[in-house]
Chains A and B, each alone.
Chain A
Amino acid sequence: MPAASVRLASLTADLLVHDLPEASVHDAAAIGRATSQHLASLPGVTRAGVCVAQAAVVGSAAVLGRRPYSRMTPDARAAVVHRLAGSGLPLVSEYFRLVRGVALMVAHEDPR
């Protein structure tokens, strides 16, 4: 899996900590991976836009969490992602709008 897809899966799983609190860590990770795989089929130009938005998300997370996203604890990551998803920041909120929509579809439709 490319690094951007791994990061997308991780951000999705962190989003689901608040969005689907009943989901286990294992399930959230599985939904994250399936969401990332689904989004990999976006048309090329849109996919490039999503990658740019994801870079903005990771940068914003680092500012908000005061350390790189990859070095935060799981709880800190989930808290930061939840704040960013509701922030209304251009690009960042649109990124989470897309990810949340697909993740919810996957969570309701995919057998786990």
Chain B
Amino acid sequence: MTYDVAVVGSGPGGAVTARECARRGLRVVVLEEGAWVEPGSAEPYSLDQMRRQYRNQGLTVALGRPPVAYTEASCVGGGSEVNSGLYHRADAQVLQEWSSAHAIEGLGLADLVPWFEAVEERLSISTPPGPMNAASDVLRRGAEALGWDGLDVPRWVRRDAGAAPVKQTMLRTYLADAVAAGAEVRSGVRVERLRLAGDRVTGVVTDREVIRAEHVVVCGGAVQSPALLQRSGLRRNVGRGLSMHPTVKVLAQLDEEVNDPADLATYQVKEFAPAMTIGGSAGRPGMIALGLSGTWDRDRELGADWRRQSVYYASIRSQGTGRVRAVPGVRDPVVTYHLTRRDLAALRAGMGRLMVLLSAAGAQLQVPSYVGAPRVSAPEQVGPAVEAMSRAAAAVMSVHLCGTVPMGEDVRRSATDSFGRVHGVANLSVNDASLLPSAPGVNPQGTLMAVAHRNVDRLLEGSR
């Protein structure tokens, strides 16, 4: 049997693609390397979730100095199943920057608004009524004391009267719609390479069989999509330009209980956006211990007070870039990232602003998350603590990887056209975060889903 469309990857980009194609009556198969894990069956932010729903059990790192730890989901539904569900539209200025630097057509805010609205409706984007959670309120208090701008970020959560809020993951929304429209979803299937014949793709080679398709859409995310293209011999402008949001963290201890291990702060400080965002991280006891691991000899006793502690972060739009390289004979691609001096300075500035804010919010004690960091219990200690974070000691992590298969009309710089169609291969597309030329300064899921809608709409127009 030959499918009309084979979608490689079932995260937000793949789920949008599969739903829209299936709804137009096309025969669609979705191939996902990770497992099918029912939403809600793994505790959020737990080690169990890392083992079941993350690639390499959450132990992925971009090599460099310092190395940057990042995470990639590996399960049906992709990142939507494990992330915090915070929704943003891309900043108009960022869309303009991408459009002009990469000659991308139809990527202005006005072009995307209909697609943003479609995503927002299907994912029930909303801000919870009532007071914020305690960890969020710490950020709000600090921001208000300093006169900084911020907001309680909307989430993809459905709130039916009398029922607990339900996160609107891909499995519960777009993939469910795709399956209802006839799409087939196969989990635990790794696509080794694309099957190419001249300037066309004829299907995919998996670890089990060859699957034939009239059109292949690669949606494996910013690491796996370029790696698959490279393994298939498609290397032009593929894998370079990896972009992310380097992030540093600070553990804060308050007078009151602030830690909900099943949730995190949804308030974000936008005073410095899109260049820098301040927000909250997961704070299970294991995460608290991890945050203290750089100063464990001194701080291990602090862990007992975890209910009064929460982990906060400062993330930046980075000037640095990285690369994804598929190495023959090696299963996992090699990922590298170069953090520039300016990035390191921005991270120090972010950490400083974060600690000033937490002090203003009433934090009694703060421990920046880097090796050998001092404890900070007064505002005058913030400066020295920030200056002491060297490149070697820094513990930098990131999510929101983008930019490895950039779209655009300039064939010297881009790997696909403005709508994700791979240059030089007639019936092959990419439709995920790897198309976005850089990390946008906010969680990119909303943006990539709007872009995915727009791209698949264009693709289907062409097929009519």
Residues of A at under 8 Å CB distance from B? 18-20, 38-39, 41-46, 86, 93, 97, 100-102, 104-110
Q: How far is the CA of A106 from the CA of B334 in the complex (A)?
A: 26
| Closest chain B residue, CB of each to CB of A108 | B286
Check if B290 sits within 8 Å of A106, measured CB to CB.
no
A-B pair count, CB < 8 Å, reads 68
The interface residues of chain A lying within 8 Å CB-to-CB of B13 are none
Whole-angstrom distance between the Cβ of A13 and the nearest chain B Cβ = 16
In this assembly, does B331 line the interface, its C-beta being within 8 Å of a C-beta of chain A?
A: yes
The interface residues of chain B lying within 8 Å CB-to-CB of A86 are 297
Check if B296 sits within 8 Å of A104, measured CB to CB.
yes
Q: Which of B52-60, B344-352, B401-409 contacts A (4 or more CB under 8 A)?
A: B52-60
Q: How far is the CA of A108 from the CA of B90 in the complex (A)?
A: 37
Known contacts A45-B332, A97-B294, A104-B296; A38/B59 CB under 8 A = yes
Check if A109 sits within 8 Å of B371, measured CB to CB.
no
Check if A43 sits within 8 Å of B56, measured CB to CB.
yes
| Closest chain A residue, CB of each to CB of B61 | A46
Q: How far is the CA of A86 from the CA of B331 in the complex (A)?
A: 34
The interface residues of chain A lying within 8 Å CB-to-CB of B289 are 104-105, 107-108
Known: A46-B63, A97-B371. 10 other contacts (CB 8 A): A38-B57, A43-B61, A43-B332, A44-B332, A45-B63, A102-B59, A104-B293, A105-B47, A105-B287, A108-B285
The count of chain B contact residues (Cβ–Cβ below 8 Å) is 29
Q: How far is the CA of A43 from the CA of B223 in the complex (A)?
A: 13
Known contacts A101-B290, A105-B289; A41/B47 CB under 8 A = no
Q: How far is the CA of A100 from the CA of B292 in the complex (A)?
A: 10
| Closest chain A residue, CB of each to CB of B330 | A44
Q: How far is the CA of A42 from the CA of B67 in the complex (A)?
A: 14
**Listed A/B pairs (18) with beta-carbon separation below 8 Å:** A19-B296, A19-B300, A38-B57, A41-B56, A42-B56, A43-B332, A43-B333, A44-B330, A45-B330, A86-B297, A93-B371, A97-B371, A104-B289, A104-B290, A105-B287, A108-B284, A108-B286, A109-B48
| Closest chain A residue, CB of each to CB of B334 | A45
Check if A42 sits within 8 Å of B59, measured CB to CB.
yes
The interface residues of chain B lying within 8 Å CB-to-CB of A97 are 293-294, 371
| Residue of B60, B284, B293 with most chain A CB atoms under a 10 A cut-off | B293
Known contacts A100-B296, A101-B293, A109-B284; A44/B59 CB under 8 A = no
Q: How far is the CA of A106 from the CA of B47 in the complex (A)?
A: 7
In this assembly, does B46 line the interface, its C-beta being within 8 Å of a C-beta of chain A?
A: yes
The interface residues of chain A lying within 8 Å CB-to-CB of B47 are 105-106, 109-110
Check if A39 sits within 8 Å of B286, measured CB to CB.
no
